[in-house]
Amino acid sequence: MCLVLFGTVVQSGPSLVAAETAVSQADLKRIFAGQAPRNVAELKAMQDHTQRLAKKVTACTVGIRIGAAHGSGVLISEDGYVLTVAHVAMRPGMVAHVIMPDGTTYDAQTLGLAWLPDASVLKLRDADKKWPHLELGDSSSLQKGQWCAAVGHPGGYDGERPPVFRLGRVLSLGEFIRTDCQLVGGDSGGPLVDMEGRVIGIHSRIGTSLTNNQHVPIAVFQESWDRLIAGEMWAFPASPYLGVRGSDNTNTAEIASVAPNSPAAAAGVEPGDVIIGFGKHEIATFRQLQHHVWTRKPEDKVELKIQRGDKVITKSVTIGSRSE
């Protein structure tokens, strides 16, 4: 097993392992691939390796500031591509401030975004500088129990604190990699690395459990690389959609127009109808109707109570979806 340090392959051997131990490189590889260390000798071998890993990965982890948003990112090429998440980048063509571990700030531009997978790429403006960077790993060959490390800026970049290093293990695989490297707001966009320091994921979200920390698999970036650097934006989350427009009358939810082929059209809603009930909610204004539509998900079935002329009728509508 070779440890790639700063682009140079360092042939590993007994000198990298604590002298008094009999822990071989094969043993260490076996542990990192998904096993528990068994004794102090193995813990020491892990520690020696992890201390070096931390230095290498921390050096390429950046803070990102875009408008009021604070997140993290990772340098992955000598010419200055930085990976982060869509929910930090927000839009192509935004000015991003990239903060290196030593606090120096550089300008970058956001390129493409894939919203649902939560992937995005930035490019640093300085084309002449040779940027320190990490190699990309292979997220499709990850194993449960595999050891990994997460670096980022929890809480946002803090000038009095370098990027924060955490060790953990891969717990499950799927649309997102889940690990027990604890993450919190500000970490978004930072790197998840394998024990060789290759980027295998990008921090995206957390759940209530301390073991629910989710990372975008690096495969997402690799597979859509061309689209990302071309500045494309795709895979928007679907918004719940009815397909009606309200009239100027702000005292009622009077429908001015119904979009053709919309869920409202399919349900038989007509211009001039006044919506007075949405499911179990009474509706008095168009804004209230909008609010209640927004609490639903596409595919939900809802009963609309409608005042049409002097009659009250009900229509059943299936909420649709709209990608912006």
Partner 1 sequence: MDSRRRITVLVALSVVLSVLCIRQLISERPRFPDPFLVATDTEEASTKPMSSRLWRRYSRSRPAMQIGKNHEQVREAFVDVVAGANPATVQIMHDDKAVALGTVVDSGGLILTKASELPKEIMCRIPGGLRREGKVVASDEDYDLALVQVEAPPLTPAEWSTENAPAVGSWLAAPSGFTDDPLSVGVVSVPPRRIRPESGVLGIWLDDSDNGPRVTHVIDGSGAEVAGIRVDDIIRRIDGDLIDSREKLTSTIRKRRPGEQVWLDVMRATESIRVQANLTRYSDLVPDEEVMQNTIGGPISERRSGFSEVIQHDSLIQPHHCGGPIVDLEGHVVGINIARAGRTATYALPSHVVRERLDLMRAQLNP
Decide if 48 is catalytic: no
Nearer to partner 1, 97 or 125 (CB): 97
The residue among 59, 63, 119 whose CA lies nearest residue 89 is 119
Up-side HSE of residue 258: CA atoms within 13 Å toward CB? Answer: 19
The H or E element spanning position 157 is: none
Nearer to partner 1, 55 or 291 (CB): 55
The encoded tokens of residue 82 equal 């930085």
Task: Select the residue interacting with partner 1 from 97, 125, 205, 281 (CB under 8 A).
Answer: 205
Per the CB < 8 A criterion, the answer to whether 138 and 173 are in contact is no
Compute the C-alpha angle 211/147/136, nearest 5°.
105
The encoded tokens of residue 48 equal 């020696």
**By rule CB under 8 A, what count of residues binds partner 1?**
62
- Least distance in Å: CB of 248 to partner 1? 30
- Least distance in Å: CB of 65 to partner 1? 9
Residue 207's CB: how many other CB atoms inside 10 A?
10
The encoded tokens of residue 288 equal 């209230």
What backbone torsions phi and psi does residue 62 show, to the nearest 5 degrees? -120, 160
Task: Select the residue interacting with partner 1 from 94, 214, 215, 277 (CB under 8 A).
Answer: 214
What backbone torsions phi and psi does residue 303 show, to the nearest 5 degrees? -90, 125
Among the listed ranges 148-156, 216-224, 243-251, 266-274, the one in contact with partner 1 (CB under 8 A) is 148-156
Rounded Cα distance between 105 and 83, Å, is 16
Q: Per CB under 8 A, does 145 bind partner 1? A: yes
Q: Per CB under 8 A, does 183 bind partner 1? A: yes
Task: Select the residue interacting with partner 1 from 5, 12, 44, 284 (CB under 8 A).
Answer: 44
Among the listed ranges 1-9, 100-108, 130-138, 172-180, the one in contact with partner 1 (CB under 8 A) is 172-180
Signed CA dihedral, 177, 178, 184, 190: sign only = negative
Q: Active-site residue among 120, 188, 204, 224?
A: 188
Decide if 24 is catalytic: no
Q: Per CB under 8 A, does 181 bind partner 1? A: yes
Residues 243-282 that bind partner 1 (CB under 8 A): none
- Least distance in Å: CB of 42 to partner 1? 7
Nearer to partner 1, 156 or 279 (CB): 156
What backbone torsions phi and psi does residue 161 show, to the nearest 5 degrees? -145, 130
Q: Under 8 Å CB-to-CB from 257, ≥6 apart: which residues?
A: 244, 245, 271
- Least distance in Å: CB of 108 to partner 1? 18
Q: Per CB under 8 A, does 97 bind partner 1? A: no
Q: Per CB under 8 A, does 169 bind partner 1? A: yes
C-alpha torsion 69→70→71→77, nearest 10: 90
Binding mask 11-40 for partner 1 (x = CB under 8 A): -----------------------x-xxxxx
Task: Select the residue interacting with partner 1 from 28, 164, 202, 228 (CB under 8 A).
Answer: 164
Rounded Cα distance between 206 and 180, Å, is 10
What backbone torsions phi and psi does residue 291 show, to the nearest 5 degrees? -60, -45
What backbone torsions phi and psi does residue 118 show, to the nearest 5 degrees? 70, 45
Task: Select the residue interacting with partner 1 from 14, 29, 30, 55 (CB under 8 A).
Answer: 55
Q: Counting every residue, how long is the chain? A: 324
Residues 73-92 that bind partner 1 (CB under 8 A): 87-88
Decide if 133 is catalytic: no
Which residues are known catalytic residues?
A: 87, 118, 188
Which positions touch partner 1 (CB under 8 A)?
A: 34, 36-40, 42-44, 46-47, 50-55, 58, 68-71, 87-88, 144-145, 147, 154-156, 160-162, 164-172, 178, 180-188, 204-212, 214
